[in-house]
Amino acid sequence: MAIVKEFKEFALKGNVIDLAVAVVIGAAFNKIVTALVDDIITPAILTPALKAAHLTNLQELTIPGTAIKYGDFLSQVISFFIVAMALFMIIKGINATKKKEEAAPAPDPVPSKEEQLLTEIRDLLAKK
């Protein structure tokens, strides 16, 4: 039974629960970013490039005279950079708002009555 109790303490620690929440939120956020990249940004960038190359699909790109298709690889590399840039911009915005919150100085704590009394006693003793 000690193992069950120890596992329960481990599983219900704040860090483990925070990590589980982060994984779930990350998975949901991944779907949003993937949809943004796949459905909006990538077509906006690639459609003009494909039209200029007289192609309808990026997967049609091959090295002439070989069976090597590099179009899908190229598509994944472009998607990676777009996702990385989108995440960079989002995190940069979040960090900027955090810096603004941290920049506000905390108000000086009001001394307690005991501290005020001790300060007065110190000042009186210093005058003597």
Angle at 50 between CA 48 and CA 55, to 5 degrees: 145
- Of residues 72 and 85, the one with the higher pLDDT is 85
Q: Best-predicted range by mean pLDDT among 11-15, 63-67, 76-80, 119-123?
A: 119-123
| Percent share of the chain, pLDDT over 90 | 0
The per-residue pLDDT for 58 is 67
- Tell me the C-alpha distance between 1 and 7, whole Å: 10
- Number of Cβ within 10 Å of residue 74's Cβ equals 14
Mean pLDDT (whole number) for 48-74: 74
- Domains assigned to the chain: 2-108 (1.10.1200)
pLDDT in tens, 90-125: 888 888 888 776 666 667 788 888 888 888 889 888
Which carries the bigger pLDDT value, residue 57 or residue 36? 36
